[in-house]
Amino acid sequence: MNDEGSFQGIDYEDLSREAGFPHGRHTGNLVYLARAYRSETSRFYQARDLKDKIALGFQFWVENDFVGNNWHNNQVTTPTNLVNLMLLVGEELPGDHVELAQPMIRRATLERQEGVFYGARQSGDRIAIAGIVAKNLLFVNDREEFARVIEIIGGEIRFTTGQRGMQHDFSFHHRDDRVNNTTDYGYGKYANAFGEWSHYLAGTEYQFPVDRINHLVDYYLDGICKQLVYGVYRDIGVYNRSITRQRSSSPRGTREIERLLSVTDYRNQELTHIMRLRRGEEAPIRSFAKFFWQTEHFVFQRPHFYTSVRMHSTRNMNMEVPYNGPGIVTHHRADGANHLLLEGSEYDAIWPVYDWQKVSGTTTMQKPQRHVDRGYGGNLPVQMRGLTGFVGGVTDGLYGAVAYDFKSPHDQLEAKKSWFFFDNEYVCLGAGIKSAHDLPAFTTVNQVLMRSEVTVMQDGRVRVLPQGRHDLDNVKWIHEGNAGYMMPEATTVHLSNQPEQGTWAAITAEKNISDEVVTREVFLLGFHHGSHPGNAAYQYIVVPDVDAEEMAAASADNRNIEILANTPEIQAVRHRGIGIYQMAFYQAGEVEIGEGAAVTMDSQGMAMLKMDGDRIDELTVADPSRQLTRISLTVPGIYNTRGDDFVTSPDKSENRTSIAIDLPRGVYAGKSVTIRAPLPHGL
């Protein structure tokens, strides 16, 4: 602290959005010092000279009243720190300064102050700001207004599909652009803020109703934790503009779970398991598949790997606007981004050296200059709405597939892209890749930190590649780190395994970012499709948690994978080992599943069949377009039964059955429907 009460290392002059409001460190430092002053375990407990320093730093702040150019600085950052300071040492600070702080704290307002401050927007902002208001009401001892604000906080845990807030699929939208914000705004500012107040109020006259708390638990487990790797590490696919900020993956904390367990026993075994995972006391055991149909995000987990697919459509924007500077290179991160994580740290700090036109899983035109947006009026805006509506997935909660009728809003490029997920591998297909542009098209299999030497099978022999850039013909498989990439048919791949360089400052428009050159060893694998491709395609199988020796013995056949179709009209895969067929129909068509047997769909849609021998044990369907009220398909065999949402029409002469299945509507449009046990029993 300087003599006048300011802190060294803070630029108090620059209040621009891009500067990031370093002033927040000033009030944050005061709170830190106040905690040391109030903690009985601190050697500074009730130290007079420390209290004098706090008072001096507080006096400097109230005399200057720093107001940043970003509303969040003034309505959240400063009020949060100042009200916490008041609760810790306010009664020991000079009274006139405490009074001067009140207008600054009250900038955290639930109602708009005309011409001055925004009111608290519905969803995460509202709970966070209401929490600041409530703390200040405790400090000034206004019980009546405190009760009113607590009711507002309690009322925010609800579905608000189509608006800001929690969606009916348990994803979270912070803005009306419908971009996925589940594990940022929907986590800290929304779920954790509500959980914090649930804990504070437990056992008091103000405590929240049990159904509100249990609704939060559902959102926490079925929304947040399913977009965290094993419930511990953040899914790379859900990052927005913040991905260009320097950080490393680390286990999420347990305090939020401890608070939930203190106020409800609802789903406590699942909460306890997540908590023990984060402490390193248990190993992952959960397996699931989930498509967030309101958000165009698919997640798939097994105890030994986690993966996701991020997309956008005519219903959803692709990415956040690069508010305040970060995120200027994130244009293609919702173009079918597919990341594979086994440990959670596979992509740690790769971003300054990352090729942002080769995002893992995407098919992208390779532009001659870095595709950036350095301002709100840039010629190459990051945020754009999708151009197609057939974007979605089919899942029964354990297995699933994804289909993406992709048309790039940034490039003159289109493709049919799909993913099919099983217990120990997943299949990635692309077809109908077209562009009239002279720029080359490229599909990226993965771009990730290099963890080991790279082994390939090429021309029938296995070898370790030297570092460098390689274009390899007749390749059957590649192994790197703890993952294998298998080609059902020998093909040509582009592969890079070498150090790459870049800077954090080059991927953001924020100020005061390091321009020191960073070097990382990067593994990049993909397919060149050439300039103006007319009908290019690709197919590959990702095999997680495998070593090079296992890959040498592997093939698509002995992994029980059979690609039934990969055309612009239909993409379909069979897993013989577990008897599952997964199909994406971009238009009405037919898929042969055996000799003289086929599945026919009379419209676009998706289907998944679980077989018991030659009988269907379970049938799941979905409509990625959200346009249909019913899907009709014909399957081999005779089934004569009906349910609340389906009816069968058997044709014994042809040994086949037509099945008409009602689809969810309204806020559930895009969700899958599964027909289970009743189907195969009626003859």
575-625 per-position pLDDT tens digit: 999 999 999 999 999 999 988 899 999 999 999 999 999 899 999 999 999
> Has residue 493 got a pLDDT over 50?
yes
Residues 547 and 594 in one domain: no
> Has residue 117 got a pLDDT over 60?
no
Residues 611 and 482 in one domain: no
3-state secondary structure 145-180: HHHHHHHHHHHCCCECCCCCEECCCCCEECCCCCCE
Report the pLDDT value the prediction gives residue 671, as an integer from 0 to 100.
98
Report the pLDDT value the prediction gives residue 122, as an integer from 0 to 100.
72
Residues 427 and 518 in one domain: yes
Residues 511 and 586 in one domain: no
Distance of alpha carbon 88 from alpha carbon 30, whole angstroms: 10
Output the DSSP codes for 623-643: -TTS--SEEEEEEES----EE
Angle at 396 between CA 177 and CA 171, to 5 degrees: 25
**Host domain of residue 40:** 1-119
Residues 423 and 530 in one domain: yes
Residues 566 and 552 in one domain: no
Residues 511 and 400 in one domain: yes
The more confidently predicted of residues 451 and 376 is 451
> Has residue 113 got a pLDDT over 90?
no
Q: What is the CATH number of the domain that holds 3?
A: 1.50.10.100
Determine, yes or no, domain membership for 649.
yes
The more confidently predicted of residues 369 and 96 is 96
Averaged over 309-332, what is the pLDDT? 94
Q: What is the CATH number of the domain that holds 355?
A: 2.70.98.10
How many domains does the structure of the chain reveal?
Answer: 3
Q: Which residues is 418 bridged to in the sheet?
A: 403, 429
Averaged over 633-639, what is the pLDDT? 95
Residues 495 and 370 in one domain: yes
* Tokens 């195969």, residue located: 680
Exposed e or buried b per residue across 351-378, where buried means at least 16 C-beta atoms within 10 angstroms of its C-beta: bbbbbbbbbbbbbbbbeeeebbbeeeee
In this prediction, residue 676 has a pLDDT band, given cuts at 50, 70 and 90, of confident
Residues 502 and 567 in one domain: no
Determine, yes or no, domain membership for 413.
yes
For residue 186, which of 125, 117, 112 has the smallest C-alpha distance? 125
Residues 545 and 608 in one domain: no
- pTM of the entire structure? 0.94
Last residue of a domain, one of 59, 84, 119: 119
Report the pLDDT value the prediction gives residue 377, as an integer from 0 to 100.
42
> pLDDT, tens digit, for every residue of 228-278?
999 999 999 999 999 998 887 889 999 999 999 999 999 999 999 999 999
Last residue of a domain, one of 535, 559, 583: 559
Determine, yes or no, domain membership for 208.
no
Residues 507 and 487 in one domain: yes
The per-residue pLDDT of the chain, averaged, comes to 93
Determine, yes or no, domain membership for 370.
yes
> pLDDT, tens digit, for every residue of 537-561?
999 999 999 999 999 887 666 789 9
Q: What is the CATH number of the domain that holds 566?
A: 2.60.220.10
**How far apart are the two ends of the chain, measured CA to CA in Å?**
83
Determine, yes or no, domain membership for 133.
no
> pLDDT, tens digit, for every residue of 404-424?
999 999 988 999 999 999 999
- The tokens of 590 are what? 């037919």
